[in-house]
Amino acid sequence: MSTFIQLMISGVAIGLIYALAALGVVVVYKSTKVLNLAPGGLLLICAYIAWTFLVRVNLPIPIALGLAVILAVIIGWVVERVALRPLIGQPILASIILTNMIWFFFRGTTFLFWGGNPRMFPSWLSGRPTINIYGIGIPEIMIWCIIVSILSITALVIYFKFTRSGLAMRVTAEDVVVAENLGINITRVYSYTWVICLLLFLITAFFVGSIQGISQDLDFIGVYGVIVALLGGLESFPGAIIAGLVIGIVQSLTGGYLAGVLGGGIAETTPFIVMFLVSFFRPYGFFGLERIERI
Amino acid sequence: MKGRPCGVFDIRYSQDMAILRTKTHWALFILFLVSLFVVPTFLNGHILSLGVIIGTTMISMFGVQIMIGYTYQITLGHAGFVGFGAYVSALLMHHLGWNFFFALPMAGLGAALYGLIIGTSSLRCKGLYMVIPTISSHFIFFYLANEVFRKWTYGSDGIECGMPVLFGFAFDSDLRYFYLVAVISVLLGIVAKNLVRTKTGRAFVAIRDNDIAAEVMGIDIFRYKLLSFAIGNFYAGIGGALWGHYVGYINTEFFPILDSVYYAAFCVVGGLGSIMGAVFAAFFWRLLGEGINYVAPLLDAILPMSAGNIISSMGLIIFAVLTILFLIFEPRGIAHRWELFKQSYRLHPFNY
């Protein structure tokens, strides 16, 4: 029983990370109908930027985080301006390949500048004690992770539901041409989207870096983030969280119980098997909108 | 309407449909075939091995072209199918002692079968959601090769691929293997070129352009989507098997997820919806890769980063930047430029 609870907890922890990474995908899809396959690369660049300011230059924490936020915003704006904007209105294949190439570009640049050695974030978050609730040890970082993901989802939902630019984003997602005719500045919508997306990835990268350190393997979190976003439904924030938890727990449980029977690789593969099976029953994910198509 | 050179009139339907229409076409085609078999005797092993790799990539790329360019089943798992084919023929030769020329079609059929299983999800998924099953297929392939069939594939230790032998004639040198790949890729290229002109190919194009309209017109879209998966992955399997037996040793690290994305990306760079585009894509990809391998050590002297970093990251960065530039400035790919060139050549002195 205690192994089960321990596995559940580690599953929830990794699931929350996937969910945070998936939020960046959902935001982009929800407002611009672009499937963002770049989280791997964007997580890498955000993590290395934060690491550089926090550890390499060793600035005070508020200044370091402020600088990292500013750089993330700049990167988001530049990525949108240089790569995404010329492709507004192009077929989906173009956006899929484009975002993939953004992933590879940042994977390449981070490897070029920072090399392949694993790096660690300062331990003032990961080194916190484990909290005991009825004899079950919960690492404090997980609680922070839960708080941050709930906060970011609330902020995103409020932004999308109640602000004018959030409304503009929803209109743009519905139909770019109509949105433009209604006087919505869609280039600004695109910019805002990518800036928000990069900020979410910065938060995710910060947590991942605190939990397991930074290395080139970080882009696998990105791949799982995409999978989680697709499983939860590309338009749904709560869906991303639920799917993240499902994938995290399934992965952790299969890794814990079935690794001996089915081989060590099963933990990495189960999310994909689940995904493949779910695509037969709910191709749009748990909470995705089923589009009704006409000729 | 395609422009015809001045004085060329199609007076029969067969002339209108022919791929090689004029005497010049035939002359160029025969010249190409002759030079394909004469020129390699003067080339050194390095260029020949590059040629073999281009040829095998081209065969796999025909498959991507049929799947993405003609049926619009976006596949981000093609390298997985390539690896699947390579493994099938390696296993058949290693454990059952089959001849290469029996194992090669089986590699194609094995990959096609795997593709059919993955393709059944196209019943519900379409458009961008096809990313799910195809990416999954790649990771499931890793799992199958590394864990499930570990006893036979030796997991990450990799498996040896046998030498192709035909009636006691071993394809053991670069030159002989180049001829083998050249014959197979030309044959499969001709098959692909003609396949997309048949009823099947027209059904694929109808599904690509609007699948609901295609269904309304009475095309069994599920059947044709599956057929597209099977044919595309048959090509992938053949390409993978040829590549594997050339290298002589494979494990799953030779088929990374990056390659899957590159297959789709370079298909767009080459030009979607044209078999010639697949040829351009293979040349562009492999020649560029070769150029990067050549340039990266030189950059090492200029840039302050360590040599290992530059060599591993240069390819990623340059491929990414070039693909993005192609998407922005020439989304119809190199094949479109080639058509424009041919058109202006045909009408040469006049510009209409």
Q: Map out the domains of chain B as residue ranges.
A: 43-346
Does B310 contact chain A (CB < 8 Å)?
A: yes
B242-287 confidence digits (pLDDT tens) = 998 888 888 888 888 888 999 999 999 988 888 889 999 999 999 9
Locate the chain B residue with the closest alpha carbon to A275: B132
pLDDT at B233 over 60: yes
Q: What angle do CA A204, A207, A209 make, to 5 degrees?
A: 105
pLDDT for position B1:
43
As a whole number, mean pLDDT of residues B57-84 equals 90
Helix (H) or strand (E) run with residue A131 in it: strand A130-133
What mean pLDDT do residues B194-217 have?
89
Give the whole-number percent of chain A exceeding pLDDT 70: 95
Give the torsion through C-alpha atoms of A78, A69, A214, B251, to 10 deg.
-20
Max Cα distance, chain B (Å): 67
Across the interface, whether the CB atoms of B132 and A100 are under 8 A apart is answered: no
Q: What is the pLDDT of residue B305?
A: 66
Q: Mutating which of B131, B253, B305 best tests the A interface, going by the most A Cβ atoms within 10 A?
A: B131
pLDDT score at B113: 93
List Cβ neighbours of B243 (8 Å cut-off, separation of 6 or more): B53, B56, B57, B82, B86
Pairing of strands B249-250, B159-160: antiparallel
- Determine the distance in angstroms separating the CA of A227 from the nearest CA of chain B, rounded to an integer: 7
Nearest by CB to A279, from B72, B133, B210: name it: B133
CB contact under 8 A, A223 and B135: yes
pLDDT higher than threshold 60 for residue B308:
yes
Q: Distance (Å, rounded) from C-alpha A108 to C-alpha A216? A: 10
Chain B: residue whose CA lies nearest to A116: B309
> Which residues from B are below 8 Å from A116, CB to CB?
308-309, 312
Q: Do B125 and A283 touch (CB under 8 A)?
A: yes
Mean per-residue pLDDT for B62-67?
91
Chain A hits for B74, CB-CB cut-off 8 Å, are: 92-93, 96
For A226, name the nearest residue in chain B, comparing CA atoms only: B132
What is the DSSP pairing of strand A136-139 with strand B159-160? Answer: unpaired
pLDDT tier at A295, thresholds 50, 70, 90:
low
Looking at every residue in chain A, the average pLDDT score rounds to 84
Alpha carbon separation from B200 to A234, B204, B230 (Å, rounded): 33, 6, 13
Highest mean pLDDT (candidates A35-44, A51-60, A249-258)? A35-44
Dump pLDDT digits (tens) for A185-226: 888 888 988 999 999 999 888 888 888 778 888 888 888 888
The percentage of chain B sitting over the pLDDT mark of 70, rounded to a whole number, equals: 97
**Arithmetic mean of pLDDT over chain B:** 86
Judge whether residue B176 has pLDDT over 70.
yes
Best of B71, B73, B120, B129 to disrupt the A interface (most A CBs within 10 Å) is: B129
Mean pLDDT of A79-91: 84
Task: Flag the least confident range among A237-241, A273-277, B161-165, B327-331.
Answer: B161-165
Residue A217 confidence (pLDDT): 80
Span of A266-280, B156-170, B210-224, B320-334 with lowest mean pLDDT: B156-170
Closest CA–CA distance from residue B59 to any residue of chain A (Å) = 21
**What per-residue confidence (pLDDT) applies to A112?**
85
Arithmetic mean of pLDDT, A74-85: 89
> Could you give the C-alpha distances from A20 to A23, A182, B111, B186, B192, in angstroms and in order?
5, 33, 36, 49, 44
Does domain B43-346 bear CATH number 1.10.3470?
A: yes
B81 pLDDT band, cuts 50/70/90, is very high
Model ipTM value: 0.89
pLDDT in tens, A111-157: 888 877 788 877 666 666 677 767 667 777 778 888 888 888 888 88
Confidence of residue B352 (pLDDT cuts 50, 70, 90): low
* Identity at B35, one-letter amino acid code: S
Better-scored residue on pLDDT, B266 or A259: B266
Give the pLDDT confidence of B7-16 residue by residue, as tens digits. Answer: 777 788 887 7
